[in-house]
Structure 1
Amino acid sequence: MARPFVELDRVTLTYGEGEEATPALDPTSLGIAEGEFVAVVGPSGCGKSSLLKLVSGLLKASSGNVVVAAQEVTAPIKIVGMAFQNPNLLPWRSTLRNVLLPAEIVQPHRARYRRDKAPYVERARQLLRTVGLEGFEQKLPWQLSGGMQQRASLCRALMHEPSLLLLDEPFGALDAFTREELWAVLQSLWMQKPFTVILVTHDLREALYLADTIYVMSARPGRILLRKNFDLPRPRTLDSTYDTRFVQALAELRAHIAEARTPVPAFA
């Protein structure tokens, strides 16, 4: 059996020290195959975002091991792309130049980009075409709607062809219609050339629409309560959300989240 592309082995995380220490993650183990689309759901403050930071190397585990692509993670890794709830586009750069940013700073692309920009510019334009932003390449962020900014943010995260895409509530600040449009955009990008994705979201419909594997986490300190495989055929559409299997899976996840939010009595 092949080793998981992303592997957490009894990983814990504590913020602070001594009396100020705050446990964020109880011993957590999981394995994610290469090309798998995973969603992580759970109550607010359960450690979902911390989990992404551990995988990316932005945080160091208090104990346990984090391994990505057969390498132990001890520092920020280069094969990752990230997108957040806030698009964080640089306000002085055009849409095209925002998308090109990873090519300018991530090795080995940085050296290649300096030698020959043309292939990178063409890739950036192709990504923008794919998400419906053709014609907006020279617009500044303030000239784009929130949904358009988030589309550009996804393109930027994929610009350097990362093997691993980490998404932290990327559609959480958008209206329902725009959010659902972007589910289809992300699914389309992933289906063209599947890369490994870990999506953190509070939206259970979003998790089921996009992911093939869903992890439910407990309240802080977070731990894995449930791993659910979801094999509804792709491409999924909004009509898929009315499928009996989708509705049943949604009810099951909601029940587990409700259980996860319930405080555990100090004495049983």
Structure 2
Amino acid sequence: MTGFVDLRDVRLTYGGAADGTLALDGLTMSVKKGEFAAVVGPSGCGKSTLMKLATGLIAPQNGTIEVAGHEVDGPVSVAGMAFQNPSMLPWRSSLANVMLPLEIVQPHRSKFRSEKQAYTAKAEALLELVGLKGFGDKYPWQLSGGMQQRANLCRALIHDPALLMLDEPFGALDAFTREELWQVMRDLHAEKGFTTILVTHDLREAVFLADKVFVMSARPGTIIREREVPFERPRPIELTYESAFNDIVHELRDLIANARAAA
């Protein structure tokens, strides 16, 4: 495989090989540079574990993981991450929350003070891009859940990551806000071109956003299907009501239902 993100024959057991829980077994997948991939599967199949492996937060017992042509042996500096819970620091303004990675991640950390004005302008431009112009001085508790998640996406992107990892980022939001943020995510990906891996339980979300969808088996998780999504970009939200779109959603649902039944 020659993808931007490659996992080959990955095996991971939590709690020790002898009597632990086998989370992933023989998992292999490849995501090309600039591609948007979604990962779906039954609850507990190891989707979030896959995210931790790909970003170097944990290491497998067997198999290899490469990102940007380098074997992963620790936290991946080219990755940005966003989760279901925005986890914004309540004592920092939205703008300061967005800029937080620049105070931590090199090479930005070493020049943060000298280039703070430029970094501030960059953060404000990102906030405007996601519809939060004028909200930089607001604190998290002054924002709705959807607005917090928009700011959270900006924080994940502020240091120009080559890889964006999304773990159920819209799962806690109402249906209308989710669809709004799907379109925000669609537009961000189109403009920035970063490689994206999205873990989600929402099959409509996966099909709307992704170039390909990886379907996982029940635990121990492995990839049982790689489904290309054929719809041209940019995709209008009205696509989600068309029969061809819903045929793919039902196909994925059947794969997951069969995976659960076989467990």
What is the CA distance between 1:99 and its match in structure 2? 0.2
How far residue 171 of structure 1 moved from its aligned partner, in angstroms, is 0.3
Cα distance in 2 for residues equivalent to 1:112 and 1:210: 35
Structure 1's unaligned 5+ residue stretches are none
Aligned to 2:42: 43
The answer for the alignment partner of 1:131 in structure 2 is 130
1:211 matched to 2:210 = yes
Return the alpha-carbon distance in structure 2 between the equivalents of residues 176 and 238 of structure 1: 12
Aligned to 1:229: 228
Aligned-partner Cα distance in 2 for 1:241–1:177: 13
Q: Structure 2 CA distance, aligned partners of 1:197 and 1:115?
A: 31
CA distance in 2, matches of 1:143, 1:101: 19
Alignment deviations for residues 98-127 of structure 1 (CA, whole Å, 9 cap, x no partner) = 000011100011112222111211110001
Q: Which runs of 5+ in 2 are unaligned?
A: none
Match of 2:27 in 1: 28
Residue pairs, 1:68-87, within 5 angstroms: 68-87=67-86
In the other structure, the counterpart of 2:255 is: 256
Counterpart of 1:110 in structure 2 is 109
Percentage of matched positions with identical amino acids: 57
Q: TM-score scaled to structure 2, two decimals?
A: 0.98
Residue 192 of structure 2 corresponds to: 193
Q: What is the letter of the counterpart of residue 152 of structure 2?
A: S
Q: 1:45 to 1:146 in 2, by over 3 A?
A: same
1:240 aligns with 2:213: no
The CA deviation at 1:18 is 5.3
TM-score (norm 1): 0.96
What amino acid sits opposite 2:154 in the alignment?
C
Question: In structure 2, how many angstroms separate the alpha carbons of the residues matched to 1:256 and 1:183?
Answer: 23
SS of the counterpart of 1:156?
helix
Letter in 2 for 1:43: P
Over the aligned positions, Cα root-mean-square deviation in angstroms equals 1.1
Measure the CA separation in 2 of the matches of 1:208 and 1:39.
8
- Is 1:165 the counterpart of 2:183? The answer is no
Distance 1:12 1:258 in 2: 23
Q: Give the equivalent residue in structure 2 for 1:57.
A: 56
The residue type paired with residue 245 of structure 2 is F
- How far apart are the structure 1 equivalents of 2:35 and 2:152? 21
Give 4+ residue runs of structure 1 displaced > 4 Å after superposition: none
Give the letter aligned to residue 210 of structure 1: L
Give the count of matched residue pairs. Answer: 263
How far apart are the structure 1 equivalents of 2:192 and 2:17? 46
Whichever residue aligns with residue 86 of structure 1, its letter is N
Secondary structure of 1:27's counterpart equals strand
